[in-house]
Structure 1
Amino acid sequence: MDWLHRWRYACIDNVQKIMRHKIWLTLLGFVFLLLLTLNFSQGELKPPATWVWVDIIGEGASSLCVVIWLLLVLSMRPVGQVTNWFAAGFIGIFASNFQDFLDEWVHLPLPYTWDSWVESLPVGLLALTVAFCLWRKEQGQIDRYLLKRQAIYHNTTALDHTTSLPKFEHLNTQLEYAFAKGKANWQQHALVLVDITPFSEISYRYGGREADRFLVVISELMLLALREEDMLCHLAGDRFAIVMKNVNQTLAQQKADRLKALIDQFYFSIKDSEHGVSAQATMVLVMADNSMKAPDSLLKQAILALSNQHKLVQSNT
């Protein structure tokens, strides 16, 4: 019965999302009732012998599909300008299709021509065209924001469920690939290991969900600071790894120092609380060396350096 609970939860969640757009649901109901009232108050029902069931089923199904599209859009999108244009467009198309459907049942006398206007005017299509233009612009902004994640999502490697970043296995694959391309390419790579605090403190004091949110925010912060060709991985807990490509020692160190300064200046606000915590990064950088006989030597060297860095910090405190 687990599937039944999941289905029930998904239905409740979608209904709650749709109910954020009550104004459009109200308008849809108003258009539905208005067309019914106008047709049956001004016209008369056609004899059953004249009904064309193919047209009735086709136009009725078209109206139902438009309503389903509207509900799907409202369940997926937040309140805003693009959603408003989509909703207005779908309701306009629904009005045209539904009037076509009613024309199969109801005959309006000649003096009434408003039904032809409802059926023919492309108001819904025009609104939907505006919606798609705005959506295209919005999608372009989202694509630019997610540019650094593009290579990640196109990769079939399993992602970490919390941060949506590649895991340890993908890091090994990338290092092996860089090593296999030859010495000249290998020595232009740098590996940075980062431990973020106070992940454990947040988990202990505020719960695992807030600790996971902390990791997500930190990962987004680092992604924004890195170049497109750099790769960020989530290894475990509060530890991240960064593979920098096409860098020398000086450039890699500069980028690592700027990233550490950015993290150290970050203040994480606890949800539904006045409290917050300051983030801090412990970071080491190791350049790839032609003396290494295997790509995993770079990772082992970085892990050892990070361990020594932690011991140094503890001895100073």
Structure 2
Amino acid sequence: MVVGFAEGVAFEQRGALGIVILDRPKALNALTLDMIRAMRAQFREWEGTADVTRIAITGRGGRAFCAGGDVRRIYDAAQAGQTNTMFEIWRGEYDLVAALARCSKPIVSLIDGIVMGGGVGISIHGPYRVASETYAFAMPEVGIGFIPDVGTTSLLPRLPGRRGTYLALTGNKIGPGDALTLGLATHAARSEDFPAIVEDLAGGGHIAPILTSYAVPPPPGGPVVREGALIDACFSAGDVRGILAKLDAVPSSEFAADTARIIRSRSPTSLSLAFEQMRRGIDLTVQEAIQIEYRLVTHIMRGHDFYEGVRAVLVDKDHRPNWQPATLEEVDPVAILAAFEEAQEAEPSFG
């Protein structure tokens, strides 16, 4: 039974199950403000509905569960001087993610295809995260002059070893094998079985045995598993420049060389902010992390690199961003620490 709809997202109730269906396949199910607001309202309603005991989130199209927030819309709003609209999108997204993280009803994320940025935010904080064979996780924000957000300031530092710092500073994609090893995914299942999983969840039985009944053998681990020792050794350095020095010193390693090259292509300011996030985040709750991330957003939106990164990747697509400052050596460490300090103006609460 359809219980709600907004452009880009639909809501159904089947038995004990509330279902969120992301439906912008041509845009890789990227989140718009209307979708965010509709989801927030629907989750609020389901929280107060006794006959809905669990919630599933899925996406249509096969290519992507959700490729993130609509950063092009944020860019366009900024270019048009629509500052209020720009921050409404950030506030709405962070409020939704914080609400999902504290949802009293178990959320089952059925993740088929790409899951990045805001898509991670709406799927990662629930107890059940099912990866299909095409699952591809990434937090690629440093490549557009931004930061890992949607609560990953808290999530990534808690991954084994220094793998979270690796993901934050490279923005590289990983598949289901790595995700299961790291705990980003809790189960693996075939995408063709997702409709049957939904029907079984609707019956109201215990969730874990249902998911286990559809589980397939975990696929082989990818680079994060294979190169785990190298990642831990290199990414344990005290700053980003130290990480690069360690990577450069690894003899005859294509992985180390490629990783260093990728990091050097990212925004130096974003890298510095993300490293500090990883240093602080292990002591933060998801809500505290989101609060800090919004604080960083207000700093970044007044700067240069986000707009330049979006221009290079999504607008002109020349993939030649002109970062300012251009090197890690030029980044002011005092300014990086100041970005984490509580702003003088009133901040929204995401608790």
- Scaled to the shorter chain, the TM-score interval is under 0.3
Q: TM-score scaled to structure 1, two decimals?
A: 0.23
- Structure number with the higher helix fraction is 1
TM-score (normalizing by structure 2): 0.21
- Whichever of the two has the greater Rg, that structure is 1
